[in-house]
Every structure is written in C-alpha cells, then in structure tokens.
Amino acid sequence: MTSSDSRSLELKAQIQQYLVQSGNYEIISSKLTQMLLEDGWMDEVKRLTNEEIKSNDSTNFTQILAKVEPQALEMVSDSTRNNVINQIRQFLGEIVDTE
C-alpha cells in the first residue's frame, strides 16, 4: 500500500467520524433505510437470499453473501441511489476544501 493510499483511507475515516459526531451520518442512514424499505428493496433482498439458500442448498453466511451482495447493490433504484449520494455530497461540500 502506498502512502497516498493510506492517507486517503485515513481521510475517509476522518470524514466518517465527523459525519457520525455531527449526527449527519444517522440522518443519512435512516433516510436510506426508509427509502429502501418503501422501494420494497428490503423484502426483495430477503427473497433473493432465501432463493440463493435454496438453490445452493447452503446456509453458509459467507457463501450466500458473496452471491447476494453484488445483485443487491444493483437492485437499488436509481432515484434512491442518486438522492442519497447527493445528500452525502452536500454534507461533504460543507466540511471539505477542494483544490
């Protein structure tokens, strides 16, 4: 790992810590949860998980997660995705300087 990589990781950690302390992280998190719930994404992921359990005949968490995670990330609707990312970007805009 180069020094710039570790520096960027550190920066991300700092930003996240700031978001948590300012209470913004919770706002974003609960908004995302609510939107995904209203989209039916939550139930859809649960259904998908059950399907994978059945088709692989396995309840191994690591194995099932590897199958479900990429699909579940894809399943988020564009509007939810953009909405949440915009909100995060807006919070970040208030606290970071860009060159």
Partner 1 sequence: MSQITVESVSQSIYENLLTTLIQDIVSRTTTEEQLLRARYNQSLSPYYYEKSGALDIHGNPKQQDSSVYVHCDRCNRDVSANRFAAHVERCLTRGRR
Residues that bind partner 1 (CB under 8 A): 2, 4-5, 8, 11-12, 15-16, 19, 28-29, 32-33, 36, 42, 45-46, 49-50, 53, 59-61, 64-65, 68-69, 72-73, 76, 81, 84-85, 88-89, 92-93, 96, 98
Nearer to partner 1, 22 or 46 (CB): 46
CA distances from 23 to 20, 27, 29 (A): 5, 7, 10
* Least distance to partner 1, CB of residue 22, Å: 13
Round to whole Å and give the CA distance between 18 and 12: 10
* Least distance to partner 1, CB of residue 38, Å: 14
* Least distance to partner 1, CB of residue 42, Å: 7
Which tokens belong to 49?
Answer: 């998980």
Cβ count within 10 A of residue 69? 11
The CA R_g of the chain, rounded to the nearest whole Å, is: 17
Question: Using an 8 Å Cβ cutoff, are 80 and 32 in contact?
Answer: yes
* Least distance to partner 1, CB of residue 21, Å: 14
